[in-house]
Chain A
Amino acid sequence: MSAEAVKELMKQKKPGEYNLIDVRQPGEYEQGHIPGAKLIPITELASRISEIDPAKPTILY
């Protein structure tokens, strides 16, 4: 999915209707992230998978 398509999806949907997950490291997230993104570093994804609602579309970056 392109960044433009993600932006369009965010515009069309209300907050809370999708999962936006930042899988980078905390330092990268701190420097700048897409507003509303939840930080789950890729190394923690397996153990924190329950924090992602499977009923909603999920975007990872």
Chain B
Amino acid sequence: MLRNAGLTNMSSMHGGMRAWKGFVAGGPPEAGMAYFPSASRPEELIALAWSLEEGSRRFYGALAGSLQDRETMALYQGLAGAEAGHEATLLTLYQEVTGDRLAAKIPDTLFSGIVPGEVMEGGMRVQQALEWTTGRSISDILDLTMALESYSYDLYLKMERTLTDGNARRVFLVLAGEEAKHLESMAALIEKRRTPDAP
């Protein structure tokens, strides 16, 4: 059936999900999109993404300021900086989509009753996440961050599939690619912490 439909370059993953040892995202297909019940307009999706980035930027920034381990602190400083860069990208996209080239920020009216930056990627409240990290090991915090970034990667690809505007779709693909890089950086740091004597 699939080959008849033109899907000639197709493979099945042996062992299915049970064989998968990589990052995992949870939630139903509409997870994360629920902040905007009618998030069909591109500018609403951009606002949602901006708000989540702002939440993550605050979370990573606060973490970087509270950690003692220099390498982990540098990772979180880098992540906070990357999220700020994503916000700038999303503002530019907002300007392009709406034609309002002079917009200095995304209007509050697009946030549909949520407080921008209160919730971060992964759907978790920033304050709640920071409270959770108190007294936790760095490994636990890194694991949480991996889960958040996996969720974010997943969400951006869902957003990309929801949009019809070509430029907007490309931006969400770029953001997803950025999240994939964050995941790789964290995976490398976690691996290094597991094998501290490795070269």
Contact = CB atoms under 8 A, between A and B. Distances in A.
Interface residues of B, number: 40
B30 to A, nearest CB: 10
Given A16-B173, A32-B26, A45-B2, A24 B17 contact: yes
Nearest to A1: B11
Given A3-B19, A61-B12, A35 B153 contact: yes
Contact of B9 (A22, A24, A36, A57): A57
Interface of B: 1-2, 5-17, 19-29, 31, 150-151, 153-154, 156-157, 160-161, 173, 176-177, 180, 184
Contact of A60 (B12, B27, B153): B12
Contacts of A58: 2, 7, 9-11
B21 A3 contact: yes
A43 interface: no
A60 B12 CA distance: 5
B154 A60 contact: no
Contacts of B13: 1-3, 6, 59-61
A15 B19 contact: no
A10 to B, nearest CB: 8
B22 A7 contact: yes
Interface of A: 1-4, 6-7, 10-11, 14-16, 22, 24, 26, 28-39, 45-46, 49, 52, 54, 56-61
Contacts of A3: 13-15, 19-22
Contacts, number: 120
A33 B7 contact: no
Contacts of B25: 32-36
B16 A29 contact: no
Nearest to B173: A16
26 contacts: A2-B13, A3-B22, A7-B20, A15-B153, A15-B157, A15-B177, A16-B173, A16-B176, A24-B17, A28-B17, A30-B27, A32-B26, A33-B17, A33-B24, A33-B26, A34-B17, A34-B24, A35-B24, A36-B153, A37-B154, A38-B29, A38-B161, A52-B5, A54-B5, A57-B10, A61-B13
A11 B20 CA distance: 14
Contacts of B26: 30-33
